[in-house]
Each structure stands twice: as C-alpha cells, then as structure tokens.
Amino acid sequence: MTKIIDYVFSIGSPWSYIGLAPFLDLLEKTGAEIRPYLTVVLEENGGIFSRNRPEARRQYWLRDLKRWAGLRGKTLLLENRPPLADPAPAAFMVIAAYLDGKPWLELTKILQEAFWGRAEDIGNPEVRRAIANAAGFDGDVLSKREGDADVQGKWAADREFALKNGVFGFPSFLYDGELYWGQDNLHFLESHLNGVKP
C-alpha cells in the first residue's frame, strides 16, 4: 500500500527551503508519496512571524538557520536583503503547476532558491514569471492561472486543512495520524514510515 504524507509548507519559509532536499531524499528511500498543502504562518494555531518574535529569540532563530543551512549545503541570504514583496503569491503559481500536472516540486525548489539563496523578489509576478520561464516552465500560463477559482480554492482549502490538523509551523508532515513539525524531525518521520512510530 502506498504511503501518503501530507506535506504542509510555505514558499516563504526558510525552513521549508532548507528541508526540501532531505525530504525528497526521504521520499526516494521510502517510496512514499506526498499531498501538498501550501499556506502561510498560522497565527491561530500559535505560529509566529519572525518579525513578531522577541529580539533574543529572533537572533537565535537567525543563528540556527545559518547552522542548518550549512549542514544542508544550502545558500541562505539572510542579511542585507533588499526590500522584497510578500512571497506568498508565489504559492499560487506552484498550486497552478500542481493542479495542471506539472513538476510543482521543481518549481517550488527554484522559487525558494531564488528568494532565499539570491534574494530575488518572487512576490513580483514579473520576476517569478521570468524565473519559471528560465527553468523551462510556461511562466505566462502559470502566472495567468494564479487567480483562477481552482487555484484560489485550493489555497483556501489548504489553510483550513492545516488549521484543522494542528499545524503551526513549516514544514510540517502528517503521516498515519501523527504530526511532525520541522525539517529537523525528518528522522522521526522516516522511522514511522519504516514501521517504527516514535
């Protein structure tokens, strides 16, 4: 029987960016498949935007991100970033790709790398369209799909799913009734997929 993981993430989450590659490695090892759910910080469940954290916690968050980025071999540009638009609308493009049967994980990866690795303004529709085109996607088609009813419907439903299932941070993985929060919990998810529930 195919093992299905509900994968809840945010395009604008650096932890989702850092954790994507090891998550894909885990899928390859275990043969599991994923159902994607895209949303933004869930304050209703206790999620906190980084800008709203106390300074001591924010400074630790920055240091921890750098440590994990180094461990995962990811470029993470956190300081001296130019003013950037909200990256959340980039999720609409990813949802459109998913609904249209396109390689949405690859699109997710290139958008996150652009935003976190190079500080490109993926919140700007022209910028993300160009990024998609350069990667071999039809950025014009995907961009036009962003406001369509099925795309916006999934965006709303994904948030409701996350709220209902107790998600508050990203990435989160739901498998067999268990919630695993954070890319640092992938080893527990792997154990569960292999039949040993932590």
Q: Which residues are catalytic?
A: 13
Cα 97 versus chain centre, distance: 14
d(CA 68, CA 70): 5
d(CA 48, CA 42): 8
Distances in Å between the Cα of 29 and the Cα atoms of 65, 108, 135, 197 are 26, 21, 26, 17
DSSP class of residue 187 equals: H
Short-list 34, 2, 147, CA closest to 89:
147
d(CA 48, CA 13): 12
Q: Are 6 and 34 in contact (CB under 8 A)?
A: yes
- Per the rule left: phi > 0, alpha: psi between -120 and 50, beta: everything else, 18 is alpha
